[in-house]
Amino acid sequence: MSDCCESDGACSTITLDKNIKKVDKKEYLKPAIALSFLLIGIGLDFFDVGFFSKVVSFIYFGIIYLVVGKNVLLKAYKLVLKGNIYNEFTLMSVATMGAFAISSYAEGVAVMLFYITGELFQESAVNRAKQSIKALLSIQIEETRVLVGGKTIIKHPKDVKVGESIQVLSGEKVALDGTLISPIATLNTAALTGESKPDTKNTGEDIYAGSINLNRSIELKVSASYEDTKLSKILSLVQDAIGKKAKTELLISRLAKVYTPIVFWLAIALVLVPFFFLGDAYEFTNWFERALIFLVISCPCALVISIPLGYFGGIGAASHNGILFKGSNYLDIITNVDTIVMDKTGTLTKGVFELQEVVTKNYDKNSMLSLVSALESHSTHPVAKAIVEYAPSSLKAFEVEEISGHGMKGIVENKEILAGNAKLLDKFNISYDKALLTNDKTIIMVAIDKKFAGYISIADSIKDDALKAIKELHKIPKIKEIIMLSGDKQAVVNSISKELGIDRAHGDLLPEDKFKEVQRLRDEGKIVAFVGDGINDAPVITLADVGFAMGGLGSDAAIETADVVIQTDQPSKIATAIKIADATKVVIWQNITLAFGVKIAVLIGGAFGLATMWEAVIADVGVAIVAIANSARIGKMKF
């Protein structure tokens, strides 16, 4: 039986179990054999074969009915004992046994048979949908080679400790996140990023679990435990996504619980009420059959199962494009977004800074660089890393304080060092050359013992697909405005904004300023998506209606708080995510409209005697199959 209905009989969203049960091909054999015997029985009855009397017919069709419907009848019996009458199993049991009561034996068997067949197809479709997402698990590795004393020992990745070295042969998958020890490695990272282009790494660069080593054997130093690898986090996000219902799903589930008992009592009324109006013309059998048709078509599971399948399709399509939705509810919300707000560094730019120029005022350049590098070594900001890599320092910094949105403060060589933006120097009332504010590069101003000592200019390059990202977003009619927020100075922000074609850009912002800006937009009634990557973006990502995080360069805090994670670090995937969500919404509402339209038509037809039991079967099973096929289209669409 399908797992669309839980033990309480109410249809619920599909869950992604660790072990996906495949529908045994033998399960299809029983309905096929039963169909053959059903057709034989119908033939014997139609040609009025002598020995096929009413008693023999009852026994013949009764045996087929019990073989086919045994599980449904038992399920209905257990639920009724628990006090749960309004469920699909009870409805099917009452309808089919009622058909036997009015001597419509073949119809009773047919209803149960086609119901079971429909459930098998539904279960198969559910499993295929699960497998499309669960396929990610195939990239987890059960064993890896650990280098110990020049020898290799095979271990499960769970048993490998951080700091140990592992070997990955050509063609094998990397089991754990690590730093490359070998001179060079060529990797296929499609499973993680969705990008088929091989990625080349050099000594000291990070390599993530799930990547495939394409060429020579390589060695890695493990940098994260099995549970903390990027791959494990991705899989966790995908599985969590399945457990979160979207509003449409919740609506359908609630509706199913309400309309099933309503139809149940309408069916009873359909039998009893006409008696008071028709008098002697009332025929119990006629109205009882109409009530049975009412019950058959009222079963909600065919309707409810098609909705989660639509969301499965959307989440699966997104994951294949390197986009992870943490819940199907975000697929719904993103379809209403009208304002895109983006961080600059690491989102639209590569976040890989290079030192351009060092200018000092009455101070030795190398000495100032050494002091600043010692201080910046305590920060994880991309700008700080660029300075440290350019000028490594052997000096030690003490009393280090990172002032959010401003810069760094600390003691190096008994000197108080300030390194940051203009706001940092303003905070400590240190004068500097105001012309630096109009420089279109990122400027790190330096003060030593409360005096301006010079500055370091840093340049960041725009991501390759940033321009494409903005163009694609502008093509989406519902996106009314694209805004860039940055802690960088306004001159830099203006330059990048103009180059990319962004509608509005604000620089010189503290993290709390970004928060206030997004809050202001939401207060104006706008539905906001915020895209960021840094730890300082986490509060704004949480605040936004939909929060995006860059999953490659992004901080763990940003990724954890985000609703959608872009594994490829490509801003163009924002538009892709919106397109996938829109396509999912269209398919789901097509399913809802189809299911309700057909059900209402047949319900009315059945009440007026215009629909037979056969039409009821076709309506129930047929609609489910069409909806399932429609949902499967999402995974095949090009975005």
Angle 269-275-279 from CA coordinates, rounded to 5°: 165
| pLDDT over 90 at 571, yes or no | yes
| pLDDT over 50 at 447, yes or no | yes
| pLDDT over 50 at 440, yes or no | yes
Q: Which residues of 242-272 are buried (b: 16+ CB within 10 A; e: fewer)?
A: bebbbebbeebbebbbebbeebbebbeebbe
The one-letter amino acid code at 124 reads S
Q: Report yes or no: 155 and 226 within 8 Å, Cβ to Cβ.
A: no
- Mean pLDDT is highest, among 323-327, 329-333, 365-369, for 365-369
pLDDT of residue 306: 66
Q: Report yes or no: 342 and 457 within 8 Å, Cβ to Cβ.
A: no
Distance CA(282)–CA(278), nearest Å, equals: 5
126 confidence band (pLDDT: 50, 70, 90): low
Is 241 or 624 the better-scoring residue by pLDDT?
624
The two domains 161-224 and 323-350+462-567 share their CATH topology (first three levels equal): no
pLDDT of residue 197: 56
pLDDT of residue 524: 95
Q: Nearest to residue 427, comparing CAs of 458, 412, 405?
A: 405
pLDDT tens string 269-313: 988 999 888 888 888 888 887 887 777 666 655 565 667 778 878
Q: Residue written as tokens 């590069």?
A: 441
Q: Nearest to residue 428, comparing CAs of 411, 444, 452?
A: 452
Segment 502-507 shows an average pLDDT of 94
Segment 521-539 shows an average pLDDT of 85
Burial class (CB in 10 A: 0-12, 13-18, 19+), 431: exposed
Distance CA(250)–CA(393), nearest Å, equals: 58
Segment 78-95 shows an average pLDDT of 79
- Catalytic residue list: 343
324 confidence band (pLDDT: 50, 70, 90): confident
* DSSP calls for 505-517: EE-S--HHHHHHH
| pLDDT over 70 at 533, yes or no | yes
Q: Nearest to residue 234, comparing CAs of 135, 380, 350?
A: 135
| pLDDT over 70 at 255, yes or no | no
Distance CA(86)–CA(256), nearest Å, equals: 10
3-state SS assignment for residue 143? coil
6 confidence band (pLDDT: 50, 70, 90): very low
* DSSP calls for 280-291: GG--HHHHHHHH
Lowest mean pLDDT among 11-15, 17-21, 448-452, 602-606: 11-15
- What single DSSP character describes residue 462? B
356's enclosing H/E stretch is strand 354-360
pLDDT of residue 229: 76
- What single DSSP character describes residue 457? E
Instruction: Give the CA-trace dihedral at 54, 59, 64, 70, to 10 degrees.
Output: 130
pLDDT of residue 13: 34
207's enclosing H/E stretch is strand 206-207
pLDDT of residue 16: 41
Q: How far apart, in Å, are the Cα atoms of 550 and each of 7, 138, 351, 492, 557?
A: 40, 24, 11, 21, 11
> How much is the mean pLDDT over the chain?
81
3-state SS assignment for residue 565? strand
pLDDT of residue 254: 62
| pLDDT over 90 at 471, yes or no | yes
137 confidence band (pLDDT: 50, 70, 90): very low
CATH assignment, 323-350+462-567: 3.40.50.1000
Which residues, 6 or more positions from 574, have their beta carbon under 8 angstroms from its beta carbon?
A: 340, 469, 473, 529, 531, 548, 566
Distance CA(505)–CA(503), nearest Å, equals: 7
Residues of the chain with pLDDT > 90, as a percent, come to 32
3-state SS assignment for residue 458? strand
Q: Report yes or no: 442 and 383 within 8 Å, Cβ to Cβ.
A: yes
pLDDT of residue 1: 38
Distance CA(323)–CA(311), nearest Å, equals: 14
Residues of the chain with pLDDT > 70, as a percent, come to 81
| pLDDT over 80 at 577, yes or no | yes
| pLDDT over 50 at 615, yes or no | yes
> How many CB atoms neighbour CB 447 within 10 A?
22
Distance of CA 509 to the CA centre of its chain: 31
Strands 218-222 and 442-448: unpaired
Is 33 or 130 the better-scoring residue by pLDDT?
33
Radius of gyration, CA atoms only, the chain: 33
Lowest mean pLDDT among 84-93, 124-133, 387-396, 426-435: 124-133
Distance CA(285)–CA(257), nearest Å, equals: 29
Distance CA(606)–CA(298), nearest Å, equals: 11
The residue ranges of every structural domain in the chain are: 25-135+239-315+582-636, 161-224, 323-350+462-567, 354-459
Is 234 or 40 the better-scoring residue by pLDDT?
40
Lowest mean pLDDT among 317-326, 467-476, 535-544, 549-558: 549-558
pLDDT tens string 24-75: 566 678 888 988 999 999 899 888 888 888 899 999 999 999 999 998 899 8
pLDDT of residue 418: 96
| pLDDT over 50 at 241, yes or no | no
Which residues face 355 on adjacent strands?
A: 458
Q: Which tokens hold the place of 122?
A: 């539904």
Is 254 or 360 the better-scoring residue by pLDDT?
360
Q: Which residues of 474-499 are buried (b: 16+ CB within 10 A; e: fewer)?
A: eebeebeebbbbbbbbbbbbbbbbee
pLDDT of residue 3: 39
Distance CA(156)–CA(145), nearest Å, equals: 9
- How far is the first Cα of the chain from the last one, in angstroms, to the nearest whole number? 35
Is 211 or 129 the better-scoring residue by pLDDT?
211
Q: How far apart, in Å, are the Cα atoms of 618 and each of 91, 369, 432?
A: 16, 78, 80
Distance CA(365)–CA(355), nearest Å, equals: 13
CATH assignment, 161-224: 2.70.150.10
Q: Report yes or no: 379 and 402 within 8 Å, Cβ to Cβ.
A: yes
Is 557 or 452 the better-scoring residue by pLDDT?
452
Segment 184-206 shows an average pLDDT of 73
Instruction: Give the CA-trace dihedral at 176, 180, 181, 186, to 10 degrees.
Output: 110
Strands 564-566 and 323-325: antiparallel
Segment 606-612 shows an average pLDDT of 75
CATH assignment, 354-459: 3.40.1110.10
Q: Which residues of 83-95 are buried (b: 16+ CB within 10 A; e: fewer)?
A: ebebbbbbbbbbb
| pLDDT over 90 at 474, yes or no | yes
Instruction: Specify the long-range contacts of residues 486-490, CB closer than 8 Å, at least 24 apart.
Output: 486/343, 486/344, 486/345, 487/345, 487/405, 487/421, 487/511, 487/536, 488/344, 488/345, 488/421, 488/442, 489/421, 489/422, 489/437, 489/439, 489/442, 489/443, 490/437
